[in-house]
Structure 1
């Protein structure tokens, strides 16, 4: 196999991996877990604020 064939095979593998990652990312099965992960910084902030209020009391 010459370098051109190896490069073509590698390109196809990377393209198929990319398409798989895009399908996985936009799958409706993962929406709930992605929404929870997106809200993690805000959940931490609310817990931190409530713990500060408890300590002040």
Structure 2
């Protein structure tokens, strides 16, 4: 096993991890949680304002 075989193995492993992360991020079961997290920067906006 030379260095090129190790590079190929690492590339394939990282590509598989990337595909796994993309599949997890696009899963419908995570959509509600991500939508809620997207609104977090605006959560304290009403509390911070003084009337």
Q: How many matched pairs?
A: 51
**Which of the two has greater helix per residue?**
1
More relative contact order, 1 or 2 (CA 8 Å, 6+ apart): 2
**Where does structure 2 lack aligned partners over 5 or more consecutive residues?**
none
TM-score by length of 1: 0.80
Gaps of 5+ in 1: none
Aligned-residue CA RMSD (Å): 1.0
Structure 1 residue ranges (4+ consecutive) displaced by more than 3 angstroms after TM superposition:
none
Residue 44 of structure 1 deviates from its aligned partner by 1.3
